[in-house]
Amino acid sequence: MKGLLLLAAVLLAGPALAQVSRNQAVPSGAAGVAARLNAQGFKDIHGLRQLPDGQWVGKATQNGVERAVTMQPDGTTVAR
């Protein structure tokens, strides 16, 4: 029963913030970041830019919904 409740909580919280992958080195350059995002199921990737702290930010479509995406220096991808 606890497992079912945990699964329900995860499914309800999922759309707010999705952490896609973790702990893989970020590819160099926007083309590499776009390729990684595409491999993770994102489409229509655009507006990628690198911030001074090494993060990459941009927009991408996931499951028909446009999301803001961030790829952190450790390779973690977050979609909001």
CB 31 within 8 A of CB 46: no
How much is the pLDDT for 27? Answer: 73
How much is the pLDDT for 26? Answer: 67
Q: Indicate the DSSP class of residue 33.
A: H
Q: Which residues of 30-66 are buried (b: 16+ CB within 10 A; e: fewer)?
A: eeebbebbeeeebeebeebebeeeebbbbebebeeee
**Predicted confidence (pLDDT) at residue 76 exceeds the cutoff of 50:** yes
Q: Whole-model pTM?
A: 0.68
Write the pLDDT tens digit of every residue in 35-67.
999 999 999 999 999 999 999 999 999 999 999
Write the pLDDT tens digit of every residue in 11-31.
444 444 455 545 566 678 999
Residue ranges of domains in the chain: 17-79
